[in-house]
Amino acid sequence: MSGEHASINKAPRRVRSLKSRRDTLAAYMLLSPSALIIGVFGIFPLFFTVYVSLFRWRLARGRFTGVGNFISLFGANPLALVAVCAAVGGAVLAVFLFRHRSSQQRARGVFGGILLALSLAGFAAALPALAAQGDKDVFDALRVTVWYCVCTVPVQLVAGLLLALLLSRPLRGRQAFRVISLMPYIAPTVATAAIFELLFSLRPDSFANQVLRLVGISPLQWLQEPKGVFALIFGGAAQTGATGVIPAYWAAWAQGPSLALIAIVFYSWWVFVGYYALIYINGLAAIPRQLYEAAQMDGAGKLRSLFSITLPLLSPTTYFLTLLGVIGTFKAFTQLYVLRNPAVGSAVDPISVSIFFTAFRKGNMGYAAAVSLLLFVIVLGLTVAQQRTTGSRVSYGD
């Protein structure tokens, strides 16, 4: 770039502007094919979704309903939605205060702590109210999505890191192992999900049930079991005594993810652990060896090196994978679509599948567009929040 710049500056002013104008024209010509496609199918749709969401839109555009679809989504009283947003905003502000306080500013820390506690309490109270007056299906789908995210991402991070650490030492057959560990990730999701549909079927002779029998557990319904796992393990205990809007809502959470969803979680582990390991291996390779040698000279053991060198220096990788994983689970569709069994109703339908069915089975596009905007806002919020909170703590090596 600098070379080009120098030669341009030597040219007379008129020639220079002519050249740069011609360059600009050429650049936009080269950009036009991508800009056309990205504009029509990538940017315009976002605004068009907002437009669609304001109508009663079945096969064709119907009556203009304004915020009607959003009222069916969040309920008629906007107070609950405002309260939930305020609680989320408060929590974000509290975390921000924590992160940007210096040692002199103890008041900030105290204030941040109080704000965080208030926000969490407000959230715990306002969300049930919102769910009670809003669309039950959507809020159930959100719960499924959150469970799916919570059950998959942390396990994949830890297992991926462990695999990467095992693979970081010289070993015969390392390349073969890498190839094998990535196969689940590369193979088409529809095909591999179809295999898991057989592995975790409710038949007493299915793979999963035969394995259970080996350890003396009676067969389970797996993909056809809509009951929550905590409810299954502890009996109906989690459900009792749940009266009133707020306890009833959180009691539904307390039942845990459905067993059907857990089977899909196993699938996700199987697919993504190899990929996470690959990314971690790249992260490990970037850590300078001298650091370990220096630590060894100072008498640090292997475990100490792991916690003082490896993990802190891997934090950019962990951050990247967390972001990718959380956003990925909110967007995930194929495996959940293939592995959902009609017998479990909507117990494993995350928000993406719910949108799909609302739009293309029930034909209610206007409403589905409104729900998809909610998903968009959540994914955008997660991206921004994660960048703001984790971003400054991440170590970039130097």
Partner 1 sequence: MAIEDPMRARPRPTAGGVTVAVLLTLAAFLFILPFLYMLSTSLKTVGETIIRVNPFPFHPEFWPSVPQWVNYATAWTTANFSLFFRNSIITAALTVAGLMFTSALAAYAFAKIRFAGSRLVFSIFIATLVIPESVYLIPNFILITRLGWYDTLAGLTVPFMASAFSIFLLRQFFAQLPNELLESARMDGAGHPRLLLSVVLPLSAPPLFTVAFLAFVGSWNSLQWPLVATQTMRWRPITVGLATFVTEAGPQNQLRMAGAMISVLPVVLAYFFAQKQFTEAIARSGIKG
Q: Which residue has the tokens 């993909």?
A: 223
Q: From the CB of 285, what's the least distance to partner 1, in Å?
A: 10
Q: Which is nearer to partner 1, 121 or 166 (CB)?
A: 166
Which of 275, 312, 85 has the alpha carbon at shortest distance from 185? 275
Residues 190-209 that bind partner 1 (CB under 8 A): 190-192, 194-196, 198-199, 203, 205-207
Residue-wise burial string across 316-354, b where 16 or more C-beta atoms lie within 10 A, e elsewhere: ebbbebbbebbbebbebeebbbbbbbeebebbbbbbbbb
Show contacts with partner 1 in window 64-103 (CB under 8 A).
none
Is residue 342 within the footprint of partner 1 (CB under 8 A)?
A: no
Query: Is there binding between residue 158 and partner 1 (CB under 8 A)?
Result: no
The terminus-to-terminus CA distance of the chain in angstroms comes to 26
Q: Which of 132, 98, 126, 99 is nearest to 113 (CA)?
A: 98
Task: Based on the shown chain and the rule CB under 8 A, indicate whether residue 379 belongs to the binding site for partner 1.
Answer: yes
Interface with partner 1, residue 217, by CB under 8 A: no
Residue 286 as a binder of partner 1 (CB under 8 A): the answer is: no
By CB under 8 A, tell whether 337 contacts partner 1: yes
Tell which one of 15, 43, 114, 286 touches partner 1 (CB under 8 A).
43
Question: Is residue 357 part of the contact set for partner 1 (CB under 8 A)?
Answer: no
Interaction of residue 222 with partner 1, rule CB under 8 A: no
Residues 153, 135 contacting (CB under 8 angstroms) = no
Is 17 a residue that touches partner 1 (CB under 8 A)?
no
Within a 10 A sphere around the Cβ of 17, how many other Cβ atoms? Answer: 11
Q: How many residues bind partner 1 (CB under 8 A)?
A: 96
Of positions 114, 121, 124, 211, contacts partner 1 by CB under 8 A? 211
Complex with partner 1: residue 192 or 318, whichever CB lies closer: 192
Subset of 301-330 contacting partner 1 (CB under 8 A)? 324, 327-328, 330
Closest CB 206 distance from partner 1, rounded Å: 8
Helices 365-390 and 44-53 meet at what angle, rounded to 10? 130
| Distance set, CA 88 to CA 82, 280, 303 (Å) | 10, 32, 38
Q: Considering the complex, what minimum distance in angstroms separates the CB of residue 160 from partner 1?
A: 11
Tokens of 212: 């259970």
Q: How far is CA 110 from CA 79, 106, 117, 393, in A?
A: 28, 6, 11, 21
Of 17, 105, 175, 387, the residue at the interface with partner 1 (CB under 8 A) is 175
* Separation between Cα atoms, residue 277 and residue 188, nearest integer Å: 19
